Amino acid sequence: MNVLRGILDLLEGIYVHIMILVDTLIAAVLFLIPKKSKDVAGEIVLVTGSGSGIGRLMALEFAKRGATLVLLDINESSIKDVAKEIEEIGADAYYYKVDLSKREDVYNVADKVKEAVGDVDILVNNAGVVTGKKFMDSPDKMIQLTMDVNTTAHFWTIKSFLPSMIERNHGHIVTIASSAGLFGTKGLIDYCASKFAAVGLDESLRFELMFMGLRGVHTTVVCPFFINTGMFDGVKTRFPSIMPIVEPEVAVNKIMRGILTNEKNVYIPAVIRLLVKLRDLLPDTAKSRMFRFYGTDACMDHFTGRTKKD
């Protein structure tokens, strides 16, 4: 009996590894084929941290494509202004003040959205804060806020809006993470921890949805280098031609392309994809040399930005 079990396990292992190779080849072919953008006209799109920066720009881009926007931000006056911009485009916009660091606040606003607007089709978790100090200089209050806004709030927004997506087998969860969620960075320990968690949340959620057979509910995680929104004022890069401080409009164009084609991962700039592969192969000593060469170990040395939304 044990021999038979062993043979069956061996045969299953051979089959699984053949299928892994087939899946990889199919993915490689599909990667080379241009993807068609999906139509979001009439979709309800919710963007957190949409009062400024890339959150505002993404909201405007979705509005240009005919979507109905739900704007969430702790700064009510800013999202009110963005809502006016969207209405001038000819799209509908609803705005709600919310403190994403408070679970009940998120749940209360989510109930209002579902009642007043309807089921959210695309959820963009964009809001974020940064401390920008070395670990021992980071106030406890800011560490807690960083985790609450950059990571924990995602659980509450997803739990609020994912059920209807599952029921309809239709929807998209977008996580605006960071390259700091892929590589540990000096002076960004709490921020890195929060973004690593956000990247892990996206990947785990994607597999859970796949195992549930929900091919119509997509997830996208966005991992950009520093974006010039004011959040990271003073940050420098050694080789701007390779690892530039990304302009918001450039970042949003790439993010929108990724969302509209259901990309699982969006790296900005694209060289980050290569660095991710190298990270998995290199020892820490080699990685530290690479970080020093590219200057990423010193990016935060001249940080002057204030705690603010992405």
Any idea which residues carry the catalytic annotation? 191
Residue 218 contacts residue 172 (beta carbons within 8 Å): yes
Residue written as tokens 């940050």?
235
Which helix or strand (DSSP H or E) is residue 138 part of? none
- Neighbouring C-beta atoms of residue 234, cutoff 10 Å: 12
Angle between helices 153-168 and 189-211 (to 10 degrees): 20
Transcribe 51-68 into DSSP letters. Answer: TSHHHHHHHHHHHHTTPE
Helix, strand counts (H, E) of the chain: 10, 7
**Cα–Cα dist 141/135, whole Å:** 13
**How buried is residue 92: exposed, middle or buried, by Cβ count under 10 Å (0-12/13-18/19+)?**
middle
Q: How many CA atoms lie within 13 A of 6 on its CB side?
A: 3
Bridge partner residues of 68 (DSSP): 44
What angle (nearest 5°) sits at the alpha carbon of residue 267, between those of residues 263 and 272?
140
